[in-house]
Structure 1
Amino acid sequence: MSNTLNTTWKIDDTHSEINFKVKHMMISTVTGSFKKFEGRVETSNEDFKNASFSFSAVIDSVNTNNGDRDKHLKSDDFFGAEKFPKLSFKSKSFDGEKMVGDLTIKGVSKEVTLETEYNGTAVDPYGQTKAGFEFEGQISRKDFGLTWSAVTEAGSIVVSDKVKLIASLQFIKQ
């Protein structure tokens, strides 16, 4: 009889970042991030396969290095931060390379697949065991009710529907 022991890992937010990229007028890319987030992993093995990942980000912490744009993103045109203060993700499966889970934004949950790179585990100078991951995926913002749109005089879409998600996360073994 095998004795499985679950290990909990929490996000080390000083060594992690959550970013997104979206095309602006289809000619340039705007990068944004969330400055406040939390997450954890529950695993029963060393390679994290079939581990359970959960994550949330505070919408009010969105940052694109432009105050007016950030304010617009927090408005009901996009995230509706007042009514929906967080976005969240909960994994359903993880095979070591792909993670499938439910992403919830603005009260709408959709299944997403994230390409995953497990960068390994190491012990830091303070004796803490840490694990590093890179996650990448793409969503349609309109699937989540982020439908604001505008068209330039020349007919270009101002904000693309496709949004790239890129997360570099380091977890600390608890």
Structure 2
Amino acid sequence: MKKVTLFIACLFASAAAFAQTWTVDKAHAKVGFTVTHLLVSDVDGNFKTFDAKITSSKPDFTDAVVELTADVNSIDTGNERRDADLKSDKYFDAAKYPTLTFKSNSFKKVEGKKYKVTGDLTMHGVTKPVTLDVTLNGPIPHPMNKKEIAGFKIAGELKRSDFGIGTGTPVAVVSDEITIRANAEFGKQ
């Protein structure tokens, strides 16, 4: 019995040893969102300051753990007045909740390069589960440094009301549905 237990412990230890960390190449990444304004036009925004990593021991990423943090104070919609409004307590309340986080608990292959990532998104002090669509490009060797890289396109929708963001703003002014999108290149460490 001791030999079996020792063998299983070694097996788990060796699997953990093969887990690889992939870090985001911020020069080739963007974390953004889109809302509808006055029911007629889309307004895009992004977070200029963020960090992300992926840990996976499988080459197809089916055991991946995705972790993201974004600085709410870095929100950028191309309009300083609107950005200040979004950072205020009317929306994100960046003074009280300066960080947005996501940590996955499932990364499942749907077919081909298509995946679903499910995890906990925390913003404005509220944590909710979200599921996002992922398209994986790669992995391939980087043409310059020969290290392995992979690209991820991530998209999905959530409701700002689920996170208590902008509860005083009617949906006819700013949509409740927020489209999330991220494009990121990651390098294996």
Structure-1-length-normalised TM-score: 0.93
Aligned counterparts of 2:94 and 2:80: Cα–Cα separation in 1: 15
Q: Give the aligned partner of residue 169 of structure 1.
A: 184
Secondary structure, aligned partner of 2:73: helix
1:144 matched to 2:163? The reply is: yes
Q: Give the aligned partner of residue 62 of structure 1.
A: 75
Aligned-pair CA distance for 1:47: 0.6
Gapped regions of structure 2 (runs ≥ 5): 1-6, 110-114
Secondary structure, aligned partner of 2:136: strand
Aligned counterparts of 1:79 and 1:149: Cα–Cα separation in 2: 12
Aligned-pair CA distance for 1:130: 1.1
Contact 1:121 1:131 in 2 (8 A): yes
Q: Give the aligned partner of residue 20 of structure 1.
A: 33
Aligned-pair CA distance for 1:150: 4.1
Q: Structure 2 residue aligned with 1:158, among 169, 173, 186?
A: 173
Contact 1:100 1:113 in 2 (8 A): yes
Structural RMSD (CA): 1.4
1:41 matched to 2:54? The reply is: yes
Q: Give the aligned partner of residue 128 of structure 1.
A: 147
Secondary structure, aligned partner of 2:182: strand
Secondary structure, aligned partner of 2:176: strand
Aligned counterparts of 1:7 and 1:60: Cα–Cα separation in 2: 31
Sequence identity percentage: 39
Bigger CA radius of gyration: 2
Aligned counterparts of 1:58 and 1:150: Cα–Cα separation in 2: 23
Contact 1:26 1:158 in 2 (8 A): yes
Q: Which amino acid aligns with 2:161?
A: K
Aligned-pair CA distance for 1:82: 0.9
Structure-2-length-normalised TM-score: 0.86
Contact 1:149 1:157 in 2 (8 A): no
Q: Structure 1 residue aligned with 2:64, among 29, 37, 51?
A: 51
Aligned counterparts of 2:169 and 2:132: Cα–Cα separation in 1: 29
Gapped regions of structure 1 (runs ≥ 5): none
Counterparts in 2 of 1:161 and 1:93: CA distance versus 1, 3 Å = same
Q: Structure 2 residue aligned with 1:110, among 123, 128, 147?
A: 128
Secondary structure, aligned partner of 2:175: strand
1:71 matched to 2:89? The reply is: no
